[in-house]
A and B are shown apart, each in its own frame.
Chain A
Amino acid sequence: MRNEIPLEENLNSGHLACPGCGGSLSMRLALKALGKKTYLVLTACCWSIIDGPFPYSAVKLPLMHTAFETAGSASSGVRAALDILGKKDITVMAWAGDGGTFDIGIQALSGAAERNEDFIYSCYDNEAYMNTGIQRSSGTPWGAWTTTTPESKGEQKKKMMEIMAAHRIPYAATLSPAYPEDFIRKYKKAKSIKGTKFMHILSPCPPGWKTSSEQSMKLSRMAVESGVFPLYEVENGTKYTLNYPSADFKIKPINEYVSMQGRFRHLNKEQIKFMQENVTSEWQRLLRKLKYA
């Protein structure tokens, strides 16, 4: 089998991510796929720290840090400048966490998507405000412990992919660093499409999920195989393509995925059963969309 993962490295070693950070591996893969002609727009998130303090930077590309809620708008400005200056071959990639995407940044993201601005929006979703110390976001799953949901989160995770698909943007995809070939392929595809591209990456966070560092990739894979975070693509808001697991795959029970994580430790059997029912019904909903969309 041919290795499709480029050898090019645009992320330096020596960055400030925690061991086992899904976000740092995801950035590494994304930059491999996009190559050197890329501008990065980074909003407040773990990556504001991971990149390193002034005068250091962990990426080998031009990078603009911007305010929390401005990934969509600041990238629109960068894109506009590049277009008017005739530098149309440079890719603009916005990079934000789940808080910066699902919550505070959703207005600017929605605005940019409605205008179909030509850039790639990457959301690395570690399912809480991890940079500030594990507070719930609307990307936090039902039942998870965080410092602001000390009992457990009582609300379901916001369906971000559906929100983005409803904008009828040309391309939206879910990605996992445990599936690097799929990851690279999707970024390359996103780069080849004009308009707004939304990349939703489930990104394990050892301190926030209360897991050990070496479990991150295993957890990433289990999230996909259990149907918690299936990998799929949506083109123009209507055309759904499922990547992993395949439609005939019998999704694995979530028990192991849940029991490995300290943030779900307090859940009893019935609560886990409730989670399982939700995951199963969402999986079935996705399969129906594949069929009818």
Chain B
Amino acid sequence: MKEVTTGNHAVSYGAMLSRAQVIAAYPITPQTQIVELLSNFCATGKLKAKFIKVESEHSVMAASIGASLAGARAFTATSGQGLALMHEMIHWAANGRLPIVMADVNRSMAPGWSIWTDQNDTLSQRDTGWIQLYCESSQEVTDSIIQGFKIAENVYLPVMVILDAFVLSHTSEVIDLPDIKLVDKYLPPFKPKDKLDLKNPRAFGGLVTPDFNFELKYKMQEAMNKTIPVAKWADREFKRVIGRSYGIIEAYKCEKADTILVTSGTITSTSRYVINQLHAQGKKNVGILKIRMFRPFPAKEVVSVLGKAKKVAVIDRNIGYGVGGIFCQEVKAAFGNEKKHPEFFNFITGIGGRDVTPKDIQGIIDYTETHKKPKEEIVWVGLRK
């Protein structure tokens, strides 16, 4: 069914189609519309779920953890400061091996107060054991929520589905809502292998001595290793049942490219527009690598695409202070043991919701093509001097 919807409502539809059973949420701009539509779905019976209107984001995640451990499919959404407030429980959800799915609307961290986008809120959570999927469009948002549950419930790690504030969260486009019968076929009811259970009473999350804890963390890493093949399978299945697929990364027009832009989120669409124009003009030496799955980091896949290029321009809508763009660091690290690697250029742009225009992308391409090596460790794009 075609529907005109915003990125935010695309999240709500994704949760509804996934038949989330417990939703605990707290409103925070720019995530609010997600919560509003889900409240409406629950109130009208369109979604048979318990909606807990908790008093903070910390409680959001604690309630989601309780619900998931008691055997319900748990969903929530947050943004920026809210995600930061959850941080303790973000660890708890992953270490507890609970397949919760959460949407995060990327919002810049205060101060100064900002409701606009950049990725530092979610990237601050990258080492918590959550799977992270960065979305380009509303269609991808809905589909990623559904895929998110499929992945999470097969590897027992939580999934974060991430979209840019306003640029995506509040922008309307036509999307194709999958038929719920097809979604049911794709995503069977949640049947956890471990949960609170009267027939088999056990204690979860208690004290673990050094005799065991190390192995539990090892198992987390094993689950992350399993996630890449599981995510590819979940994507293939999605294609088979529902008819669309995204991959964990997407190489766009990279066949003849000697310069490749590395993108994530909505900047990918802007970059596509520029690349399409260049290709139409016969300039086919520039392509895009869109990173959809950031955790676990698909290093092998990234290297296989970028290894063929001479230059790689990583566009980061984030900053790891004292280091540089976080995606760039990860891309470089992926080449750590490779004999040969392309020249890396790190561009930082769009922080705090600053517009990233086709002109900016063209500027990034021009800079990369006209320099043998980057002049600076970080090239700031669109900075007011």
Contacts and interface: CB of A to CB of B under 8 A. Distances in A.
Interface string A95-123: 00000000000011011001100000000
A36 interface: yes
B22 A84 contact: yes
B92 interface: yes
B71 interface: yes
Contacts of A77: 22, 24, 52, 62-68, 70, 74
B266 interface: no
Given A41-B66, A70-B62, A111-B59, A84 B48 contact: yes
A259 to B, nearest CB: 36
A60 B206 CA distance: 15
Contacts of A41: 66
B89 A67 contact: yes
B24 A107 contact: no
Interface residues of A, number: 45
A130 to B, nearest CB: 16
Contacts of A83: 50
B202 A66 contact: no
Interface in A54-97: 54-57, 59-67, 69-70, 72-85, 90
Nearest to A83: B50
A51 interface: yes
B94 to A, nearest CB: 13
Interface string B202-215: 11111111001000
A78 B206 contact: no
A39 interface: yes
Contact of B205 (A59, A64, A90): A64
A265 interface: no
Nearest to B197: A62
A52 B203 CA distance: 10
Given A48-B207, A52-B206, A111-B56, A78 B66 contact: yes
A55 B72 CA distance: 24
Q: Find the residue from B53, B71, B206, B209 having the highest chain A CB count within 10 A.
A: B206
A49 interface: yes
Contact of A61 (B53, B54, B63, B201): B201
B72 A114 contact: no
Nearest to A63: B203
B89 A36 contact: no
B87 to A, nearest CB: 11
B88 interface: yes
Contacts of A84: 21-22, 48-50, 72
Nearest to A111: B55
Q: Find the residue from B59, B60, B65, B208 having the highest chain A CB count within 10 A.
A: B59
Contacts of A115: 52-54
A36 B209 CA distance: 29
Nearest to B208: A54
Interface string A24-66: 0000000000001101010000001101111111011111111
A54 B59 CA distance: 26
Given A62-B197, A65-B203, A79-B66, 5 more contacts: A57-B203, A73-B60, A78-B196, A80-B67, A81-B68
Interface of B: 21-22, 24, 48-50, 52-56, 58-60, 62-72, 74, 88-89, 92, 196-198, 201-209, 212
